[in-house]
Homo-oligomer: A and B are copies of this chain.
């Protein structure tokens, strides 16, 4: 089985041509002609991930974030991200990336996240310009905002959340966008969502929300990590009977830690 065969399966699910115009997806490093020896799935490609793949003897890494975002004018080993790309090349590893095409896809990042939150009547954002990146849905029944936070924390296994708004308010309609969704706040308000779950909110996003919508900032990592199982599941079913290791990376975790008053005070 060749790497190109895996690419066909994934491209059928989340076509590369569905990616937003500014995005960079597909086979970013390696060669589609290489014989497949194993698959490692991760959100990002780092030195640790490349190492893990090498040690596993898996020569295909599937990532969510494109390691090349600004196109490269040089490949200097002492510069990031060239350093990681050099490591991939020297170890004959290929890298296949599904980014906004996976955000959008049926069963992709946003839909997986919406299901993890137990939303019903899940629909894409009705915002033609920005594609159907986000999802909006309804909880089974109205809940207090603090109960919602508690369940969200547990559902995503998150250490902490950041939010604004009155914790006693009642929540039913939930909008969400995996990854950095600050530019969708206005859309979420226009859809009359009670709360918008996303990540990487900037200062101005919190002000824009004000008291017009509750925001919950789960981590960027946590909002997307849920999709790794979906990828593995999809490949497992499509490659049933093929003797190839398909694994979720172990050397990946949230890229920062919380230092707070209770634990450290």
Interface residue ranges, A against B (CB under 8 Å): 24, 26-33, 44, 46-47, 65, 68-78, 80, 85-86, 89-90, 146, 149-150, 153, 159-164, 179-180, 199-204, 206-208, 210, 212, 215, 217, 220-221, 255-264
CA A201 to CA B221, docked complex, whole Å: 13
Q: List 21 A-B contacts (CB under 8 A).
A: A24-B74, A26-B74, A28-B74, A28-B75, A29-B74, A30-B77, A31-B78, A33-B78, A65-B203, A86-B89, A89-B89, A146-B264, A153-B264, A160-B258, A160-B259, A161-B258, A162-B258, A164-B255, A164-B256, A164-B257, A180-B202
Q: Tell me which residues across on chain B come within 8 A of A85, comparing CB atoms.
A: 75
Q: Tell me which residues across on chain B come within 8 A of A163, comparing CB atoms.
A: 256-257, 259
Copies in the complex: 6
Q: Are A153 and B261 in contact (CB-based, < 8 A)?
A: yes
Q: Are A76 and B153 in contact (CB-based, < 8 A)?
A: no
Q: Tell me which residues across on chain B come within 8 A of A24, comparing CB atoms.
A: 73-74
Q: Tell me which residues across on chain B come within 8 A of A208, comparing CB atoms.
A: 80
Known contacts A65-B204, A203-B179; A259 and B153 CB within 8 A of each other: yes
Q: Are B30 and A76 in contact (CB-based, < 8 A)?
A: yes
Q: Are A260 and B258 in contact (CB-based, < 8 A)?
A: yes
CA A256 to CA B90, docked complex, whole Å: 33
